[in-house]
Amino acid sequence: MTPRIWRLLAGRTFAAFATALVPTTLTLALLRAGSPGDLGLVLACELLPMLLLLPVAGVTADRFPARRVVLVADLVRAAAQLATGVLLMTGLDGRVPELAALAAVTGAAVAFGTPAVRTLVATAVPEEGRLRVNARLGVATGLANVAAPAAAGSLTLLVGGGWASLLTAALFALSALTLGGLRTAPAPRSAPRAAFTTELRAGWTETRRHPWFLANVLAHGVWHLAAGLLLTLGPVIAARSMGGESSWVIVAQAGTVGMLAGVWAAGRLPLRRPLYGVAFGAAAQALPLTAFALRLPLPVTAAAFCAAMFGLGVLSPLWETEMQRRIPRDTLGRVGAFDTLISFAARPLGLAVAAPLAATVGTTVPLLVAAGLSAAANLSVLLLPDVRRHPEPSPAPALR
């Protein structure tokens, strides 16, 4: 790998670990010094700006150099986490609104940074190397999601949540410093820059021009909705029907192994039609949904969850690479923002409706319906001709 690729991977690894530290730190700190209601308020204040600002962030990612957008987003998150650390160290009495405001700032920075990262990879990495880079970024993110909660929990319980937030701020600052001088290729422009609102509408027009993209995004929305159901009802079923709370830990660990294996394998599978791998990887989620619905034995359920997470691990880098290959560079931020928006919105919806559904009709029917819908939605995209097409690589622009 070139120094530029190492720099990109290092920066995004710092940011992934920092991002994964935030939820556990806030949860433990607020449950120790606040209340569940305070936690809900703070988490909602982080999520809402993400949903509202993503379309605007997509335009920003297309109008300005991606490395600069990511740099500013990381610096803003570093500042917000630094202030959060100070708040947690000085006490939360009467200061939850301030913490909620800082969470909103963090959510806004996440919104602006997310579509820009996709464009950053597209401008920093030649097309023939993107799948490997996306796979390595997936491994880094997966490892961060495993290690960061344990690190945040240990720091919060031993020395307090403030120190965990200060560590998070330092990691975001490291990410910004690492990516600040990254050399990237200029995004091509076929026309002079239009007004902001015009470019926002043009992003939606470009999105509708790709049926393969819209079909997959809607199918992934079903996937995230079903994931919300699974993550809410799965632990309850495991604890009650599979041998206690430790059974969910076993299932979750099997899923972690599967996801990391899938991400590692994604860059090595000889797939001529990558969107087939995306479709089958997403459809594999039907396996654990069905296993939990039918109360299958723990080894079978753990294997099913492992297979589903392997599919997710394969899906993620393939999907990122296909978007970077098929979507024009100068609209990638706006088009990709719609993908992220559906993902951010659908999973909380699944988390919210899981308990009321279970209380009304039980857990079996919602999980089986979710399994059927998830498999059908994701496999149905294979009917589209554009999904079966594998575009020829485009020439890589010169780096600057």
Identity of residue 288: P
- pLDDT at res. 119: 87
- Whole-angstrom distance, CA of residue 73 vs CA of residue 169: 12
Tokens of 46: 């982080």
Neighbours of 128 (CB within 10 A): 9
Tokens of 287: 């396996």
Nearest to 33 by CA among 88, 98, 106, 97: 88
Q: Are 335 and 45 in contact (CB under 8 A)?
A: no
HEC sequence for the chain: CCHHHHHHHHHHHHHHHHHHHHHHHHHHHHHHHCCHHHHHHHHHHHHHHHHHHHHHHHHHHHHCCHHHHHHHHHHHHHHHHHHHHHHHHHCCCCCHHHHHHHHHHHHHHHHHHHHHHHHHHHHHCCHHHHHHHHHHHHHHHHHHHHHHHHHHHHHHHHCCHHHHHHHHHHHHHHHHHHHCCCCCCCCCCCCCCCCHHHHHHHHHHHHHCCHHHHHHHHHHHHHHHHHHHHHHHHHHHHHHHCCCHHHHHHHHHHHHHHHHHHHHHHCCCCCCCHHHHHHHHHHCCHHHHHHHHCCCCHHHHHHHHHHHHHHHHHHHHHHHHHHHHHCCHHHHHHHHHHHHHHHHHHHHHHHHHHHHHHHHHCCHHHHHHHHHHHHHHHHHHHHCHHHHCCCCCCCCCCCC
pLDDT tens digits for 367-386?
Answer: 999 999 999 999 999 999 88
Nearest to 377 by CA among 190, 166, 240, 224: 224
pLDDT tens digits for 21-33?
Answer: 888 888 777 777 6
* Integer CA distances (angstroms), 176 to 12, 13, 148, 180, 319, in order: 9, 11, 19, 6, 26
Calculate Rg over the CA atoms of the chain: 21
Identity of residue 362: G
Tens digit of each residue's pLDDT, the chain (400 residues): 688 888 888 998 999 899 888 888 887 777 776 666 777 788 888 888 888 898 888 989 888 888 889 999 999 999 999 999 998 888 777 778 898 999 999 999 998 988 888 888 888 888 888 888 888 888 888 888 778 877 888 887 788 888 989 999 999 999 998 887 777 666 555 556 677 778 888 888 888 888 999 999 999 999 999 998 998 898 889 888 888 878 888 998 899 899 989 988 887 887 888 899 999 999 999 999 999 999 999 999 999 999 999 999 999 999 999 998 889 888 888 898 888 888 778 888 887 888 888 889 999 999 999 999 999 999 999 999 888 665 554 444 444 4
* Integer CA distances (angstroms), 92 to 45, 95, 96, 199, in order: 17, 5, 6, 42
Q: Are 227 and 285 in contact (CB under 8 A)?
A: yes
- Whole-angstrom distance, CA of residue 175 vs CA of residue 78: 9
- pLDDT at res. 389: 66
pTM of the model: 0.80
Q: Are 331 and 199 in contact (CB under 8 A)?
A: no
